[in-house]
Each structure stands twice: as structure tokens, then as C-alpha cells.
Amino acid sequence: MFGLTRRALMGALAMTAVGLAQPALADDGHPYFGPEVLDLTVLLVPPPAKDSDVTKAELAEVKALQASVSDARKQQAIADAEEGFSPFVATTSLAAIDPAKLPLTVALVQRVLDTEDAVTTPAKKFFDRARPPLVDEAIKPLAKMSKSNAYPSGHTSNGTAVAIVLSEMAPEKRAELMARASDYAESRLIVGVHYRSDLGGGFASGALIAKELEENADFQKEMAPAKAELRAALGLQ
């Protein structure tokens, strides 16, 4: 359904080596599934070791990015620390729609985020990768740093999953939504709280979550009216 071929899914997994709704459900905020359905600890390639040359290069990249990007890009990265429908679509054409007119879509996205959190939290604990500022004191986080571990990146995971879901609902917007997912992930490097390979793990995790949602009857039931709502708001037939 989401156009995730076996080749695309395996490609997303390989990246880790380098690096919807009935109205009554709108306020529920509960995941569609958790690690009992999607166990990332056995699906993701482990992150590079703390003392590896890869990690050292990734730390250097974070410092270089923080020193070179514009103040405007830093401010965007700080804003991207927020999660949810509105923060994600903030730099896309979907931002022109009042989210109050999209209650089903907003609720659907929130449940996707809840699902991502339920799935990635155990993986973060399992892989136990310290965030860059805890490894190199020269890196100063520009946004509040979560107490959770770094790998895989949760923002990248949910941004990827949300981009895939919204792209299925409005394929006309696929290019800008997927570009937004990439930019949203890059912000995590700029604020200094992730390594490049954390993003790779997040891209893979988000793709895996979206693939599992394709088989989830609860999600499918809620997505249908949300899709109609979003397309009507966008003026799409």
C-alpha cells in the first residue's frame, strides 16, 4: 500500500550500517502496536562503537555542522525539536491548512507518533548509545536533550513514518513530504543530539513502522476517513 517494496525496505535497513480515525478516538493517544509486534533490537544493525573511527568522524561532523550552518537553519532545527502534525508540516504546503480543520488527520498522526515511541524506546535502551554531548563536551545541545539514548533517532523514525503515511493519503505531496522528513532528521544533527548513524537507524525504523501499519486493521479503519478529510482540505479529488 505504501509502495514499500522489499528492495526499498532492505535499503532502509542497510542505511543503519552507515550511519485513520473515528472522532471518538481523537483524544486517545495510544499506539497501534508496540515491540511485541515490531522488535527493532533484532532488526536494526547496531550503532558504531563509542571509541570507533566512525563515531569519532560523526562527532566531528556534528561540530562542523554547528559551526557552519546559518542562524536561520539553527532556529529551524530548534523548532524541529517539537513533534506532531503541525511541527512536521511547518515547512510544507500543508502548513497552510488550519489543523483545527483536520481533527482526524491530527489524531492519526499522533497515534503514529505514539506507536513510534512504543517501538523505539526499548531499542534505545537496548543499544544504549550515549548522545553526542555526553561523549564530547565540545558539543553543546541547542535544544532540550531527552534523557533517552541516541540510537535510533526517534524524531527521524516518526518523521519518516508520518511522511510515508501522509504521502499515501496525498501522493501528490509525496516529494515535499519525503524531503521534509530528511530535513527534519538533519535538524537532529544541527542541534547536536544525534549522530549520522542514529538518523540511518531512524529512517529504517520509520519505514518498518509504516510497513507494519499497512497490515494493522485498526490503523486502516482510521486512515480512510482521515485521508478523505485531508484531501478535501487540500482541494484534491
pLDDT in tens, 28-68: 459 999 999 999 999 999 999 999 999 999 999 999 999 99
Q: Which amino acid is at 44?
A: L
* Residue 84: Cβ-neighbour burial (10 angstroms; 0-12, 13-18, 19+): middle
State the pLDDT at residue 105.
98
Q: What is the 3-state secondary structure (H, E, C) of 55-71?
A: HHHHHHHHHHHHHHCCH
* Contact (CB, 8 A) for 201 and 151: yes
pLDDT on residue 237: 80
Mean pLDDT score of the chain, rounded to an integer? Answer: 91
What per-residue confidence (pLDDT) applies to 28?
43
Q: What is the pLDDT of residues 170-214, one digit of tens each?
A: 999 999 999 999 999 999 999 999 999 999 999 999 999 999 999
104 pLDDT higher than 50? yes
Greatest alpha-carbon span in the chain: 54
Report d(CA 162, CA 155) in Å as an integer. 10
CATH superfamily, domain 6-23+51-234, is Phosphatidic acid phosphatase type 2/haloperoxidase (1.20.144.10)
Place of cell 537532529: 188
Instruction: Compute CA distances 169 → 158, 176, 221, whole Å.
Output: 16, 14, 13
Nearest to 51 by CA among 130, 123, 150: 130
pTM: 0.88
Q: How many helices (H) and strands (E) does the chain have?
A: 10, 0
**What local confidence, expressed as pLDDT, does residue 2 receive?**
52
pLDDT digits over 4-33, tens only?
A: 444 344 444 444 443 333 333 334 459 999
Q: What is the dihedral of CA 58, 199, 5, 164, to 10 degrees?
A: -150
**Model pLDDT, residue 24:** 38
Q: Domain residue spans in the chain?
A: 6-23+51-234
How far is the C-alpha of 46 from the C-alpha of 42, rounded, in Å? 9
Q: Which of 7-16, 72-81, 137-146, 184-193 has the lowest mean pLDDT?
A: 7-16
Question: What gap in Å lies between CA 200 and CA 12, rounded to an integer?
Answer: 8
| Cell numbers standing for residue 128 | 544504549
Could you report the per-residue pLDDT of 109-124, keeping only the tens digit for each?
999 999 999 999 999 9
How far is CA 1 from each of CA 89, 155, 163, 213, 215, rounded to the nearest angstrom? 22, 23, 14, 10, 9
Q: Reply yes or no on whether the pLDDT at 163 is more than 80.
A: yes
